[in-house]
Structure 1
Amino acid sequence: MTDANPPAPSRIALKGVRKSFGPKHVLRGVDLDVAKGESMVIIGGSGTGKSVTLKCVLGIIEPDAGEILINGARATARNREALLSRFGMLFQGGALFDSMLVWENVAFRMRHGAHRRPRAEAREIAIEKLRRVGLTPETADLFPAELSGGMQKRVGLARAIATDPEIIFFDEPTTGLDPIMAGVINELIRELVTEIGATAMTITHDMTSVRAIADRVAMIHEGEIRWQGAVGELDATEDPYVSQFIHGRAEGPIAAIR
């Protein structure tokens, strides 16, 4: 009998991913599936393996064991460049080039990567993406240092969506922002991911962001996926690690381990 509602195919799949740095075992067998068009948010405390997981998917770090599949194909050093051309990334600190104008930052991949476009066309696209994140065309000819932190984050977001990527990664997208601007960025992320039809993978410890942008949530603890499920199930879980983390309690199994 055919399932009337078959599960969406995995856009990203991690199977038994392990990574150590000397004697420190950071990832101890991470298994995770992110469906096409899904917004997956990975939560967990500092040093639990969130960033290393993200870097493994991006190909910045090579796992010691296990495999990572993108659209069903194994990600390897050989096909890394082709995979990167389909990714977008919003970095935690913005990672804008200080010596480049805002539009040049947004259009960087269109001028230097596989999506190379003529300068005038790249600028036009960059201005349109800036408009999409709520910035005026006049912003295009400023330098990053002339912008507020919230505006810099928007520029980073415009750059992440500049080539209409299949997959977008967000590394602590609201770090350093006040609550109002963080809310604006969360709303923009949700709108843009839906509009583009992209798959999103976010790492954060900001529970407001989690509730705003996630379809599904996975908690990583001691290098393993401790819990995963729909964002609406997060508050109802009886897992003591998840409960302690999402409510910010000082007492609990995580504190006991530390």
Structure 2
Amino acid sequence: MIEIASLHKSFGVNNVLQGVDLTVESGTSTVIIGGSGTGKSVLLKCILGLVKPDSGTILLDGEDVAKAERDAFLAKFGMLFQGGALFDSMPVWQNVAFRLLRGSLKRPVSEAREIAIEKLRRVGLTPDVAEKFPAELSGGMQKRVGLARAIAAEPQVIFFDEPTTGLDPIMAGVINELIREIVVEMGATAMTITHDMSSVRAIADRVAMLHGGVIRWEGPVAEMDSAADPYLRQFITGSAEGPIEAVR
């Protein structure tokens, strides 16, 4: 579904991506791990066309991202943002149905509302939540609303940006289970950025570690803990000793 080859991106003298190669198979869940500032978010933005790479290619289902028609291209994606990114002035159902109320995916208001309520149910929220505003919801409920929005338009590809940030361990576990269930149900291709190793083990089919501007290691999640790569070993164990220097 996603093929990335020799991707480079710099910001001034800061060489963020220095030759990223990565293939994400259709219907699989790939998790990108790596320290803060290693370029994980930049990589996602390049895939979405929000940041233009300096060189390299990104293909989505065989189509060059750089040449794709924007509306049709973005309609293939759903995204759960790290901070929720809900619109405070809109009730929950309008947040969930945001893409269904405008643009190329526009549906009649009554239909969009029905779909929103259905997706809220799918993430464990009752219909009465639909009329509430984001400020009336807990952090865990807001994250579920964000997940409902991500899947509302039945996307082919779903991005998850630090999906469990700010959640307690129990709610983080709930969100991880929901993500896994939904990705499997929809047959969607998922790409996740996270520092949370419990999330990695819960939702990943494959894991890729980004460090030094390249993919240091990539493979099945079942092989992650036994991998010999010293960068990967240090990251998953959280050790202060190793090739990755702690920023003080």
TM-score, normalised with respect to structure 1: 0.94
Partner of 1:7: none
Q: 2:77–2:155: 8 Å Cα contact kept in structure 1?
A: yes
Given candidates 199, 220, 224, the residue that maps to 1:230 is 220
Partner of 1:16: 6
- Change in Cα spacing, 1:176 to 1:256, as seen in structure 2 (3 Å) is closer
Partner of 2:145: 155
- State yes or no: 1:146 paired with 2:167: no
**Match runs of 1:1-258 below 5 Å:** 11-76=1-66, 78-255=68-245
One-letter amino acid of the structure 2 residue matched with residue 128 of structure 1 = E
C-alpha displacement of 1:83: 1.1
Tell me, which stretches of 5 or more residues in structure 1 are unaligned?
1-10
C-alpha displacement of 1:113: 2.5
Tell me, which stretches of 5 or more residues in structure 2 are unaligned?
none
C-alpha displacement of 1:78: 4.6
What is the distance in 2 between the residues matched to 1:77 and 1:156? 29
Q: Deviations over 1:13-42 (max 9, x none)?
A: 101110000111000010000000010000
One-letter amino acid of the structure 2 residue matched with residue 230 of structure 1 = P
Moved over 4 A (4+): none
Q: 2:176–2:203: 8 Å Cα contact kept in structure 1?
A: yes
What is the distance in 2 between the residues matched to 1:190 and 1:97? 26
Q: 1:59–1:77: 8 Å Cα contact kept in structure 2?
A: no
What is the distance in 2 between the residues matched to 1:21 and 1:46? 16
Q: 2:240–2:246: 8 Å Cα contact kept in structure 1?
A: no
Q: Deviations over 1:64-84 (max 9, x none)?
A: 100100001111255232110
Partner of 1:6: none
One-letter amino acid of the structure 1 residue matched with residue 103 of structure 2 = G
TM-score, normalised with respect to structure 2: 0.98
- Change in Cα spacing, 1:89 to 1:129, as seen in structure 2 (3 Å) is same
C-alpha displacement of 1:220: 0.3
Q: What RMSD in Å do the two structures reach over aligned CA positions? A: 1.1
One-letter amino acid of the structure 1 residue matched with residue 35 of structure 2 = G
C-alpha displacement of 1:241: 0.4
- Change in Cα spacing, 1:90 to 1:257, as seen in structure 2 (3 Å) is closer
Q: 2:5–2:19: 8 Å Cα contact kept in structure 1?
A: yes
Aligned residues: 248
- Change in Cα spacing, 1:257 to 1:179, as seen in structure 2 (3 Å) is closer
What is the distance in 1 between the residues matched to 2:247 and 2:219? 24
C-alpha displacement of 1:150: 0.1
Secondary structure of the equivalent of 1:235? coil
One-letter amino acid of the structure 1 residue matched with residue 25 of structure 2 = A
What is the distance in 2 between the residues matched to 1:85 and 1:34? 19
Q: Deviations over 1:101-154 (max 9, x none)?
A: 000000000001221000011000000000000000000000000000000000
